[in-house]
């Protein structure tokens, strides 16, 4: 029996608490669930990726038994190349995720040093005191799993990202029977996906999208372009099936889409009738009403195929007035503007564009409230921790769990770094550990408090003015009027006169006697003050001002 | 009878075509409808405001008879202070808009030089050949009007921003009778609000929000905070009424909200029962369940009252666990993240937060498709131009108009600057004139192609590195290793070693003989090349590099 508490620690999720990494710790053993990236927001200029802060794990690396991956999406797998060099532990992943991770590790030269293993639903894995098995869930990528982890304190069920689709494209439904079995066995803790916990009702089945795609393709006068996520294998499969039914060929456009379709076909996740998948070259020679193109660009990514097609800069594909374009995706928050700009550009060239606001051409991969209730009802957990959601989603989910019978004090809304200690009778948050986000920019990383990011935001507001002063090394006397250069501040013609004035004022204000050594901090402060005032008076703008002083 | 065509020219609308300014021109006469600003997007760093390009009007200022304002929102009035100094013409506005514009002109010292007149529905105004009358429409601000303009070519109806609310808070419904009369008279051209032309059904009445506010306030255990737009006078009136019904006092928080409530009360647009409106100081002394606070901050504006309350930095107001917060607004696209962060922060402190996703606490002010059909059916226009919408809204509205009987070639989707020439029998776009957006930043303006904005975006990506080289004035020989400074590039400790290397490499690469005059463009290009390569190799980042060369 348990002599110690089970520790539950979300590490990093950018608002979506614990989405990218969740830690279970018992005594000298740790398992990590997922290892994902977040994509930088507009408030992180120049940042390439955001990864979880794993210092807690690195300090205890001897305790970490494994990283368990629930499915192959980037927000659950993408940090592996950054984490594994610091924490070389076995990685367990469902088959498709295993394939995707292999490619990623090869790109980073980590495939030889990594112990990557495929897991199958129902096959137990022993990790120290953690007896783990995966169970199938439906999500917007095949081979998504939840995890049932037997610990000395009790059974923990982690749903992963899930919805309850009774008619998924691959026929593999969320494994309600296993969930019922866990419920009968007694679930100590349920960690459940809260992404859409505010949404009433049920998330529609993938099947309704298949039917919509079929109708649109059947009735389209010319070519059909379907833009979706490269990982939305089921959507691609549905498109291929609908195209085949209506005598059309399918060509795949965009590098990540081509790669994913090739990989998924090879692994058996995409099944195309013979001859239906053709090259783009071949498709370009067919009559337009015999063609479906599947492309990237559903998020308005600037370099994607669809965006280049829409802006008339794609090398091979242009828009024709009889084209039908289906945006089979929802704009991820922050991407709305670029997605809509793409739609507008396609329409301007005469294409008919169908998107989620006006047609049922997309459903998402997360449970709405009725599905969350089913999960709670089947597992009947003693303790509940909502995961994968922003705070209001977690709060809505916790409140739902209480309505469904979880005791008020047994539902915990955690923040990243909170340590929840559970025994079989009670739980409490006992401490906070280092957690949160690390920004990857080029070859190095920064934390969220970095002055570099703060400066980038300042620079983008009113630009920068650099003022270079030269002084005589021996006497300390100024050698000439300062040189003033700028970027992002004002137009060139406006700058010239203004900078002349600034240079003259600063030069006049300097002590022209010989006062070596100069008080540099005084000179710098004075230069900033004079320049700041003159520039603001002349333009109403407040650029960053950097004085540079040379002794020659 | 008409001997010339009527020219219809949208000037500026940031995607929402013609939203901010629409021009009607006949021979030697022009009237301008609305004069609004747009608020800058994330792709316009540092920009304060976006105004329409009025060069077309300035070149023809002798022809411009008036600017007609449809209602008091900023996106229809906000450019007046920037336009009137260049185009001093009479401005006609409904009574409330007149009040709001007066304040604005006073702030800019323009009230004495401007001929600002109030218009009443049904009262004719003669502007050269344009016989104009306003008719009442419902929108999210009182005193919103559409315009019926009789021209030598025929009757033009411009809807302004509108919805058809049969039970508005002030009882003043959209004037369907006048619209029917115009339809009977014969409408040459309908210009109609397309903001929500993609949305099926009807926009709910303001009344449903009033009922929701009443229920929430009736059942709230503690204080109620209602955050909404300062211009949403009807919502504030409803809140006051609900508070009064349930024995609560109302205090107003936030400068723009205080100003607007004072002005609207004075002008009779807000009617509070005696004693219900109290000062914040007084409200702070009342039991919490007797208080309603109306505040700004529904868009997550960083300096607004609600955001400061949520982040614990408001001087007077803190969040209590029994508080109920109602966000009675929708996040304007681009504001979603900050609005949700505010909601999350309020919830973290224990407040119950109601917002549009989970409760009917807001309706917007624009027509959905069924209302647009009523407008088309009443006016039965010969020609149709959808306005106030992004391209896909305009396209949806044009297609709706065709379905409702407008001939295919008589519905025109215009872009800003398009000149549509209409006769009584036909119309076509004959030319493009200068139009679009001018960015106001501080005291001066920039156009959309400005290098300043491009540089700001570049600066925000990987920052800037400035390299200062000094040469002997007489010999042209370098005087010392260059000085290297940066901002927004890398952390200080990383910079030091890297910049030492860069300085040394550049110094070594310079010709140390005496070669006056130096080829500056060659030196600059070489410095950029050497530094760019070393910095990228060391960091994976590509900052902007600016060489500064001094001769001393």
A392 contact B CB<8A: yes
The CATH superfamily assigned to B208-354 is Metallo-hydrolase/oxidoreductase (3.40.50.10710)
DSSP B434: S
Kindly indicate the confidence band of residue A547, based on its pLDDT and cuts at 50, 70 and 90.
very high
Task: Give the H or E element holding residue A105.
Answer: helix A95-107
Q: How much is the pLDDT for A124?
A: 97
Closest partner residue to A340 (CB to CB) among B45, B390, B395 is B390
Kindly tell me if the per-residue pLDDT of A539 is higher than 70.
yes
Q: How much is the pLDDT for B510?
A: 84
Q: How much is the pLDDT for B471?
A: 87
Kindly tell me if the per-residue pLDDT of A268 is higher than 80.
yes
Q: How much is the pLDDT for A421?
A: 98
Q: How much is the pLDDT for B354?
A: 96
Q: Which residue has the tokens 């906000």?
A: B78
Kindly tell me if the per-residue pLDDT of A61 is higher than 80.
yes
- In B59-195, the DSSP E strands lie at 64-68, 91-94, 116-119, 125-127, 130-137, 144-150, 155-158, 187-193
B395 contact A CB<8A: yes
Query: pLDDT of chain B along its 552 residues, tens only?
Result: 678 999 999 997 655 666 789 999 999 999 999 999 888 877 788 888 889 999 999 999 999 999 999 999 989 999 999 999 999 999 999 999 999 999 889 989 999 999 999 999 999 999 999 999 999 999 999 999 999 999 999 999 999 999 999 999 999 999 999 999 999 999 999 999 999 999 999 999 999 999 999 999 999 999 999 999 988 999 999 999 999 999 999 999 999 899 989 999 999 999 999 999 999 999 999 999 999 999 999 999 888 999 999 999 999 999 999 999 999 998 887 788 889 999 999 999 999 999 998 899 999 999 999 999 999 999 999 999 999 988 999 999 999 999 999 999 999 999 999 999 999 999 999 999 988 888 998 888 888 888 999 999 999 999 999 999 988 888 888 888 999 999 999 988 889 999 999 999 999 988 766 565 668 888 899 999 999 999 999 999 999 999 998 887
d(CA A259, CA A265): 10
Distance from CA of A464 to the nearest CA of B (A): 9
Q: Which residue has the tokens 């996740």?
A: A269
B392 contact A CB<8A: yes
B390 contact A CB<8A: yes
Kindly tell me if the per-residue pLDDT of A517 is higher than 70.
no
d(CA A169, CA A234): 6
Q: How much is the pLDDT for B19?
A: 73
A470-494 mean pLDDT: 88
Beta-strand pair A130-137/A144-150: antiparallel
Closest partner residue to A459 (CB to CB) among B459, B479, B539 is B459
Strands of the sheet containing A291-295, edge to edge, are A249-253, A291-295, A224-227, A324-327, A352-354
Residues of A in contact with B357 (CB under 8 A): 198
Q: How much is the pLDDT for B268?
A: 94
Residues of A in contact with B489 (CB under 8 A): 452
Distance from CA of B471 to the nearest CA of A (A): 9
Distance from CA of A42 to the nearest CA of B (A): 8
B272 contact A CB<8A: no
- CB contact under 8 Å between B392 and A337, yes or no, is no
Q: How much is the pLDDT for A492?
A: 86
CATH class of A6-201+364-447: alpha beta
pLDDT digits (tens, 9 = 90+) for A153-178: 999 999 999 999 999 999 999 999 99
Q: How much is the pLDDT for B494?
A: 87
d(CA B309, CA B303): 10
pLDDT digits (tens, 9 = 90+) for A276-332: 999 999 999 999 999 999 999 999 988 899 999 999 999 999 999 999 999 999 888
Rg of chain A on CA atoms, in Å: 29
Q: Taking CB atoms and an 8 Å cut-off, how many pairs form between chains A and B?
A: 189
Closest partner residue to B452 (CB to CB) among A333, A390, A463 is A463
A546 contact B CB<8A: yes
- CB contact under 8 Å between A490 and B452, yes or no, is yes
Closest partner residue to B541 (CB to CB) among A391, A442, A550 is A442
- CB contact under 8 Å between A444 and B490, yes or no, is yes
Q: Which residue has the tokens 């003022």?
A: A467
Task: Give the H or E element holding residue A253.
Answer: strand A249-253
Lowest mean pLDDT among A467-471, A516-520, A545-549, B265-269: A516-520
Q: How much is the pLDDT for B249?
A: 98
Kindly tell me if the per-residue pLDDT of A17 is higher than 70.
no
Closest partner residue to B463 (CB to CB) among A391, A456, A494 is A456
Closest partner residue to A357 (CB to CB) among B198, B341, B444 is B198
- CB contact under 8 Å between B466 and A546, yes or no, is yes
Beta-strand pair B249-253/B291-295: parallel
Q: Which residue would you say has higher pLDDT here, A551 or B394?
A: B394
Kindly tell me if the per-residue pLDDT of A186 is higher than 90.
yes
B42 contact A CB<8A: yes
In this structure, the dihedral spanned by the alpha carbons of residues A375, A380, A383 and A387, taken in order and rounded to 10 degrees, is: 0
A90 contact B CB<8A: no
The per-type count for chain A, helices as H runs and strands as E runs, is 16, 25
Q: How much is the pLDDT for A168?
A: 94
Residues of B in contact with A470 (CB under 8 A): 470, 550, 552
B483 contact A CB<8A: yes
A534 contact B CB<8A: no
- CB contact under 8 Å between A451 and B491, yes or no, is yes
Q: Which residues of A466-497 are buried (b: 16+ CB within 10 A; e: fewer)?
A: bbbbbbeeeebebbebbbbbbbbbbeeeebee
CATH number of this structure's domain B463-551: 3.10.20.580
The domain ranges of chain A are 6-201+364-447, 208-354, 463-551
Closest partner residue to B460 (CB to CB) among A46, A198, A343 is A46
Q: How much is the pLDDT for B1?
A: 60
């Amino acid at each position: 029996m348990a002599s110690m508490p089970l520790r539950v620690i979300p590490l990093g999720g950018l608002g979506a608490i614990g989405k990218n990494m969740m830690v279970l710790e018992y005594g000298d053993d740790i398992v990590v669930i997922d290892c994902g990236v977040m994509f930088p927001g507009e408030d992180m200029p120049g940042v390439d990726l955001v990864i979880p802060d794993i210092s807690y794990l690195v300090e205890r690396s001897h305790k970490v038994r494994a990283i368990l991956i629930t499915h192959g999406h980037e927000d659950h797998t993408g940090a592996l190349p950054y984490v594994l060099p610091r924490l070389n532990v076995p990685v367990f992943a469902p088959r498709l995720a295993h394939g995707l991770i292999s490619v990623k590790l090869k790109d980073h030269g980590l495939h030889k040093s990594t112990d990557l293993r495929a897991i199958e639903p129902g096959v137990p894995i022993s990790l120290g005191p953690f007896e783990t098995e995966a169970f199938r869930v439906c999500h917007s990528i095949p081979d998504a799993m939840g995890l049932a982890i037997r610990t000395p304190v009790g059974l923990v069920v982690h749903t992963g990202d899930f919805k309850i689709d009774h008619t998924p494209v691959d026929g593999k439904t969320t494994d309600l029977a296993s969930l019922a079995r866990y419920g009968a066995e007694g679930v100590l803790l349920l960690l459940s996906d809260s992404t859409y916990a505010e949404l009433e009702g049920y998330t529609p089945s993938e099947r309704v999208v298949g039917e919509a795609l079929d109708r649109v393709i059947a009735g389209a006068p010319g070519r059909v372009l379907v833009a979706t996520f490269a990982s939305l294998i089921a959507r691609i499969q549905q498109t291929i099936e609908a195209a085949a039914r209506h005598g059309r060929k399918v060509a795949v456009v965009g590098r990540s889409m081509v790669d994913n379709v090739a990989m998924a076909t090879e692994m058996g996740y995409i099944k195309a009738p013979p001859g239906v998948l053709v090259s783009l070259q071949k498709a370009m020679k067919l009559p337009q009403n015999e063609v479906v193109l599947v492309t990237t660009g559903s998020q308005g990514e600037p370099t994607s195929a669809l965006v280049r097609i829409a802006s008339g800069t794609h090398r091979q594909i242009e828009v024709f007035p009889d084209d039908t374009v289906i945006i089979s995706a929802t704009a991820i928050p922050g991407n709305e503007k670029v997605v809509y700009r793409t739609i507008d550009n396609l329409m301007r060239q005469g294409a008919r564009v169908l998107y989620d606001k006006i047609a049922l051409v997309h459903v998402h991969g997360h449970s709405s409230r009725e599905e969350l209730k089913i999960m709670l009802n089947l597992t009947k957990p003693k303790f509940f921790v909502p995961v994968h959601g922003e705070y209001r989603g977690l709060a809505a989910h916790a409140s739902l769990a209480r309505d469904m019978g979880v005791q008020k004090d047994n539902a915990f809304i955690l923040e990243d770094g909170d340590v929840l200690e559970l025994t079989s009778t009670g739980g409490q948050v006992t401490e906070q550990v280092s957690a949160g986000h690390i920004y990857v920019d080029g070859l190095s990383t920064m934390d969220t408090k970095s002055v570099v990011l703060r400066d980038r935001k300042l620079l983008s507001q009113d630009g920068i003015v650099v003022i270079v002063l030269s002084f005589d090394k021996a006497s300390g006397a100024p050698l000439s009027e300062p040189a003033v250069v700028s970027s992002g501040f004002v137009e060139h013609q406006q700058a010239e006169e203004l900078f002349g004035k600034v240079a003259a004022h600063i030069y006049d204000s300097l002590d022209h006697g010989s006062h070596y050594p100069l008080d540099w901090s005084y000179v710098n402060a004075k230069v900033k003050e004079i320049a700041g005032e003159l520039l603001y008076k002349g333009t109403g703008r407040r650029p960053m001002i950097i004085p540079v002083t040379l002794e020659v």
